[in-house]
Structure 1
């Protein structure tokens, strides 16, 4: 009965509700494009392009509106992805990082490697050539939109990973981005400020954002200090060609509070792991990135875009301290050079896309044993390399009224080399895809697809492989087939009442899934294996609406409900049988019910319901389910807005994320506590 009230609220929200988008009520997530579009600003045109891309994908794609993120506290990707179904995002170990899993990707040594989802900024990959997102940081408030293509629906980005891809579109002065000042602060000593300035002059435009963030954290030894600069400048060479340069730099200094046993978590979730304090665990990253993207609109039916990027990340990461037996400090530099080419052409009923991604990543430095503030002794040199080529082609064929066939394939050729260990491997595959879209009404679709997913091991997984080179074998690439059906759209119940939905059901059978577990002999490091067979299946739904309250129409109720149901299991595995895969919950419900007034004022409750999860492959250690509730309120004016957000008002103890073991002992130190009762406020001034 403890979740009865939340369950009743969810059931109420699943009934057909209304949805109407106004200038003051931009939702976090959009579905199909509206039938009548009157806005003509460049920002609206950019959004229309993203919505059109979503409508031509026969699978799950979610759009997140960056404007709506300013109406609540957002410091990490977990906050940004709150209303994206199918994605399990959990924060807690560092100030702005998050553990991400999409459709069951990365269900292993959490918060270490971060593979399974391809990340892009303005269509240019920022994920390393080997597929890892290790110590990569993206500022969510620097995105005007984010496009989340789950699973094989990321083919338009050249990705075939299990989790798909997320593309962050940054604002530009040419697209109408305004100057703004944003201030936020609240519990646990957190505050952040950012200022954006930009403008246009003839064929030139530029935009610069400077941000700083400070937080003490809700646990001991959890302090963060971060600064960042983001800039882009464009040149309209002629009516057909435009080029844009991007530059960013981030300096993040982050203490790590470590992990707790279950008893420690129950006694005092705010405490830090003793070793984390003694070893002064940190996650310090300095990074910079330069990129260029040039677009040539050859004519009304043909477009060519070419992009290049270079990125450098310096990681200083003391993570294990157990003298005199073992200590670990990772001090490495990761450099990635990438390029992309995309050619689009419309030919009658066909819409053809050809693409090429090239990337090379090198990692050098070393792993050290160390004494905090004292000597460092090299224990293993790091000299790793990865090359990646993705060639993809897709056709969208409108072969009959209201019918579109979408088909294509990706060719991937990638290599990995661990110089210090003498390991080298090449991975090659062709991954086809075929789908169908049925347009039932101008705003309602049915879709289905069958696709191949493929993912080679990262450099970190190869390094951590067991038994690895001792048997003369390397980890195999993960591959499988996914079937998906779904529907999305919006429907008017009356002139003032609308509702919208986005539903996908998928089933994936994998071979050689790469799984990692925390090494109990050296906490903070992992061991990797290939599982014989696994199943990843689920239901992903986003339901929302907007409906008038009373006769005057000045008040509207706007509910949003994100529903994710997961079925991730081994399949007749000789070791694990049909046990449940760890880390991801069986179901997640996240939602809110906002009441908005025509003046711009809004308020309402938020809630999270998360089922239990296993922390080991043996299914012997279960992390409890939890339910949280909070409140949001704010007021939007023409050139300003303010908000307040309260989280976990019942101050419930819960586990946000954890390390995964093969078989976890009852007293294993693997738990990361979630955020306690917290209050945040913010304001934005546009000028």
Structure 2
């Protein structure tokens, strides 16, 4: 592997921008800028949302903006619920209350989900994902975010993400931006009880906001109980007319039983049962997390801005996951610590906009793997002492070189290291990843876009060792890399009488080399084996279409359709072992839709629809998981300072598989399946004060 020096990397990433003068995306947008496609609208605006909208409109590729206000009108407990209407993402919940299996543009297709790689998670621009790219112990509570921006694939360059799937940045609500005091309550099937209280205040140059949350969940399967408490707080200080700083604090205690996986016959007999070993071994996923972060923003003048951030996060994981006495049992007991920092400088000069950024993170994981007896002895058989660091430098110029035309070009340089002390493995991965794109403004509210980009992702600590059958021992995996071309359109159009429709469509084609793929180790369930595939193809169509249309002459009734469609084509390309087989885990088709009728009084009601296509559970394409169709209903009523909602899911009580582990060649007796949610009902209320 050729490894340029850090100095060369920095020079390469800064060179394109040294030729141009520029302005930052979050600064006030030009009059020709597109009004962005938002998943649902909020009753108020704020500066954070305006910055995200500007960023979306000046990105020549797939970016979605999620409004946290809309999440209050339905049952949202994990990222699968939050990301329901984001095209291009396959998000599935199931075995645990908080976590979800996430795949963006074909990332994480091994579906073992031990590390949850492929998508970089950030809060307020600072990392939540560990320095090696894993989300093993952590996902963000969706109700703790005011907004979220989802940049798919290489469109996450402005976030500095070196991942196949892109990045999701969660923006925290603040009292300064007008986040309301509120009480949220939710009850539902399977023993779900959730409450969230938010209180905020401003006093002169100071503001503060605190959110306390608790959740209890019995689960729709045996041995699936969850107990979680969380505290989110932030405080800001206006240091002058141009400088502000904010401190963020997160504390989460989560205890979660795991029901394990089922064979096909067990799933057919009773999809709500637990795996016998999960009950006997008392499988759990208990995580204690605290996070402290600071972000300071200096508006240097009307055309330039500098932001600096620091974060520290500590996670304690207690995770009994395998119990097969007398042969093998596995309990993971580790502490993961991540320190991160970011810097972003933005400047506007003439028809150019410049963005320079830096992300740095370092993660340590210490502890051990233990054999255990539930409630009894624990014997450590492996020491865990792992290290990872990551430096991402990125630069971009957005040049309005002609009326209604914008060229977007730049590059990212990444240098990241991995070390497994116990195995004596240590390696470094360096790359420069350029990007060029074009935006054509067709109208004030409509645009076409295209881009050509390089994607690059190094292996996580969980995938570092090459386990290719017959390969040399203690060998590092290579990073995966490739080229993606993308074209699309987005916009909205007014049709009179307040009617409007909106669209966001993207098509992409990616050729990858050395894609990192993992599958369950059949000789040690709960662990994985990783390889580099020679050549693979990731292609797809992503579409979000919605609108609002008046019924009758009075204008009191409106119909609001919304549909998110994803078509996936992920396959091996002339592979020596797998030929042109399909890659597993992600469905060929995923459609999420709803059709709501709204009255001017605030009442709404309508059906929801989920159509999911077939998936393969192995690289050999011998084990197929069938697709499914689910129906539901949503209703609610929104007042001036209150909201209530009711939601029914899977009304036909259709048995279906949410997600599964992947094998090289899966057999009918392999326990790999996770059941999806049966018929369920939820009610919730919100009071703002």
Please report how far the alpha carbon of residue 347 of structure 1 lies from its aligned counterpart in structure 2 after TM superposition: 1.0
Q: Distance in 2 between matches of 1:380 and 1:99?
A: 27
List 4+ stretches of structure 1 deviating above 6 A: 39-42
Q: Deviations over 1:460-489 (max 9, x none)?
A: 111574469944531000000000000000
1:331 aligns with 2:333: yes
Q: Could you tell me which residue of structure 2 aligns to residue 583 of structure 1?
A: 585
Q: What CA distance in whole angstroms lies between the structure 2 residues aligned with 1:477 and 1:638?
A: 53
Question: What's the C-alpha RMSD, in Å, of the aligned pairs?
Answer: 1.5
8 Å contact kept, 2:588–2:615: yes
What TM-score, normalized to structure 2? 0.94
Query: Residues 631-673 of structure 1, C-alpha deviation per residue, up to 9 Å, x if partnerless?
Result: 0000000000000000000000000000000000012110000
Contact 2:611 2:629 in 1 (8 A): yes
CA contact (8 A) 2:61 2:450 kept: yes
Matched, 1:420 2:422: yes
Separation in 1, partners of 2:465, 2:433: 26
Q: Which structure 2 residue ranges, 5 or more long, are not aligned?
A: 1-32
Query: Taking structure 1 as reference, are residues 653 and 406 closer, same or farther at Cα in structure 2, changes over 3 Å only?
Result: same
Give the equivalent residue in structure 1 for 2:362: 360
Aligned residue runs from structure 1 range 103-122, under 5 A: 103-122=105-124
Contact 1:591–1:606 at 8 Å: present in 2 too?
yes
The residue number in structure 2 matching 1:173 is 175
Is contact 2:498–2:549 with CA below 8 Å preserved after alignment? yes
Q: How does 1:156-555 map to 2 (within 5 A)?
A: 156-463=158-465, 465-466=467-468, 470-471=472-473, 473-555=475-557
2:104 corresponds to: 102
Unaligned runs of 5+ in 1: 1-30
CA separation of 1:441 and 1:133: change in aligned 2, threshold 3 A:
same
CA deviations on 1:70-118 (whole Å, 9 max, x unpaired) are 0000000000000000000000010110000000000004331100001
Q: Does 1:83 align with 2:85?
A: yes
Displacement after TM superposition at 1:200 (Å):
0.2
Q: CA deviation at 1:495?
A: 3.3
Q: Determine if contact 1:389/1:414 at 8 Å carries over to the other structure.
A: yes
Deviations 1:198-256 (A, max 9, x none): 10000000000000000000000000000000000000000000000000010000000
Deviates more, 1:490-499 or 1:561-570: 490-499
Q: What SS does the corresponding residue of 1:462 show, helix, strand or coil?
A: coil
Q: 1:4 aligns to what? A: none
Alignment check: 8 A CA contact 1:42 1:175 kept:
no
TM-score (normalised: structure 1): 0.94
Partner residue in 2 for 1:92? 94
SS at match of 1:676: coil
| Structure 1 position 161, deviation (Å) | 1.1
User: Who is 2:75 aligned against?
Assistant: 73
Question: What's 1:16 paired with?
Answer: none
User: What corresponds to 1:573 in structure 2?
Assistant: 575
| Cα drift, residue 42 of structure 1 | 8.1
Matched-pair contact (CA < 8 Å) for 1:456–1:478: yes
CA shift in 2, pair 1:518/1:163, >3 Å: same
CA distance in 2 between partners of 1:62 and 1:41 (Å): 18
Residue 676 of structure 2, aligned match among 643, 656, 674: 674
Give distance in 1, aligned partners of 2:397 and 2:356: 9
SS of residue paired to 2:122 = strand
1:528-548 Cα offsets, whole Å, 9 max, x none, are 000000000000000000000
Instruction: Give the CA deviation at 1:497.
Output: 1.6
Report the Cα distance in structure 1 between the residues aligned to 2:471 and 2:532, rounded to whole angstroms. Answer: 14
Matched-pair contact (CA < 8 Å) for 1:464–1:526 = no
TM-superposed CA distance for 1:40, in Å, is: 13
SS in 2 for 1:421: coil
Distance (whole Å) between structure 2 residues aligned to residue 667 and residue 537 of structure 1? 32
Q: Distance in 2 between matches of 1:257 and 1:173?
A: 40
